[in-house]
Chains A and B, each alone.
Chain A
Amino acid sequence: MRGVLGHFRELDSAVDAITELKAARLGDVTVFTPTPRHEFEVAVAPPRSPVRMYMLFGGLAGCLFGYWMAIWASAYWPLVVGGKAIASWIPYTIFGFEVFVLVGGLSTVAGLFIHARIPRLTMMVGYDPRFSRGDYGIWVECAPDRIASAEALLRKNGAVEVRGER
């Protein structure tokens, strides 16, 4: 993996650089930003996050499991309490709901982890601690022959520091 890391002080310079980098098709662009900004989303134009699907399917599975667990366990050793039906599905909605939230929520987080590729053990290539503070960074992963043009492009857009990394 090899590429160029551009370090920006201002938001609009970084956005401009991304737009140009994308037009130039120099390579994959990774943007570092201390806080999510819509400007980047527009500039990068990524595909929709699939995390919500985790919520949907995890939640559905949880809901079914909640109902199933309550009904199965009640029928496993049928004991009448208070003249209620053995498998009283109305109160068991609570289990359907709670397990839906539990499994749905946890699978959402799992989705976040999977798609955001964390936990990440080796992270420091192309990263600078200043990106969590106030500065923006652009990491262009590109072939060695394009590094120079990428560097130039970044500098042109106002990068205060540009360095190649591998």
Chain B
Amino acid sequence: MTGRRKWLVITGVLAIGVASTLLSAYAGNYQVAAVAAGTTETATQKANREAVGKAKPGPWGYSGASGYTNYLGEGTGRSPAQPVKFPHPVHVNTLQMNCVFCHSSAFKSPDPGLPAVASCMGCHTITAIDRPEVKKVAEAFNKKLPIAWVRVHKVPEYVRFPHVRHIYAGVTCQTCHGQVQNMEQVFQYASLNMGWCVSCHVNGYSRAEGMRAAGYEPDSAALTDERQGVRKVASYDCANCHY
């Protein structure tokens, strides 16, 4: 080995080490490419954003197409099969149902809540009663059995995440959960790791970005805010979430 090659190898290994440390450290912290205030979204950014919304889970339950799959196992893209194949797109996009129609306590409780089986039966005693998945629901209801959904988004037990505070702050659901309205099967959209949470708390939340993340165009007030660089900053005190 010549001297030059030796030093090349040494520095190369060091550089790879540093790069992979940084990558593993910060992957998942920033997933929605922040669009600087006052500038418009580039075509790539737009394509990425839309790809995220339309992504489907991959063959191993991981969404390769989400664009943000973290290969270090932080759970992004995780998409467990659910006992009932509930089609969010049909309910949200086609039927224009709001998220809080079913997840009704999201704006009054730390806990977003899941619809009671009876809520499903409010409509499904009349509509689509012959679909196999709806039949499952009806059967559960008749047997007075709850449906055991598999949890997709979860923060650890030592984290308090009050949904109500975020809803009142104007954060769109899709900011954290992704465009569930376009997901045939819900997958974990964001890494939900601490850096990801904190980035938004520190750098602030732009309503326009949130609306774009939700898949619709920002309203004029949001656009004005964005032009003026208004971002909603939150507390990043540790005891905000950990107690």
Which A residues contact B (CB, under 8 angstroms)?
77, 79, 121
Docked pose: A77 CA to B202 CA in angstroms: 10
B1 at interface by CB-CB < 8 Å: yes
Closest 3 CB pairs of A and B: A121-B1, A79-B238, A77-B236
User: How far does the Cβ of A120 sit from chain B's closest Cβ, in whole Å?
Assistant: 10
Chain B contacts with A in 1-55, Cβ cutoff 8 A? 1
Docked pose: A79 CA to B238 CA in angstroms: 9
User: How far does the Cβ of B118 sit from chain A's closest Cβ, in whole Å?
Assistant: 46
Instruction: Count B interface residues, CB 8 Å.
Output: 3
Which B residues contact A (CB, under 8 angstroms)?
1, 236, 238
Contacts of A121 in B (CB 8 A): 1
A-B contact pairs, 3 of them (CB 8 A): A77-B236, A79-B238, A121-B1
- Closest A residue by C-beta to B236: A77
Contacts of A77 in B (CB 8 A): 236
Contacts of B236 in A (CB 8 A): 77
- Closest A residue by C-beta to B1: A121
- Closest B residue by C-beta to A78: B236
Contacts of A79 in B (CB 8 A): 238
Docked pose: A77 CA to B236 CA in angstroms: 9
Docked pose: A121 CA to B238 CA in angstroms: 54
Contacts of B1 in A (CB 8 A): 121
User: How far does the Cβ of B205 sit from chain A's closest Cβ, in whole Å?
Assistant: 19
User: How far does the Cβ of A111 sit from chain B's closest Cβ, in whole Å?
Assistant: 14
User: How far does the Cβ of B168 sit from chain A's closest Cβ, in whole Å?
Assistant: 25
Contacts of B238 in A (CB 8 A): 79
Docked pose: A121 CA to B236 CA in angstroms: 55
- Closest B residue by C-beta to A79: B238
Docked pose: A77 CA to B240 CA in angstroms: 14
User: How far does the Cβ of B201 sit from chain A's closest Cβ, in whole Å?
Assistant: 11
User: How far does the Cβ of B149 sit from chain A's closest Cβ, in whole Å?
Assistant: 36
User: How far does the Cβ of B155 sit from chain A's closest Cβ, in whole Å?
Assistant: 19
User: How far does the Cβ of B91 sit from chain A's closest Cβ, in whole Å?
Assistant: 41
Docked pose: A121 CA to B1 CA in angstroms: 9
Docked pose: A77 CA to B237 CA in angstroms: 10
User: How far does the Cβ of A117 sit from chain B's closest Cβ, in whole Å?
Assistant: 9
Docked pose: A77 CA to B194 CA in angstroms: 13
Docked pose: A77 CA to B238 CA in angstroms: 10
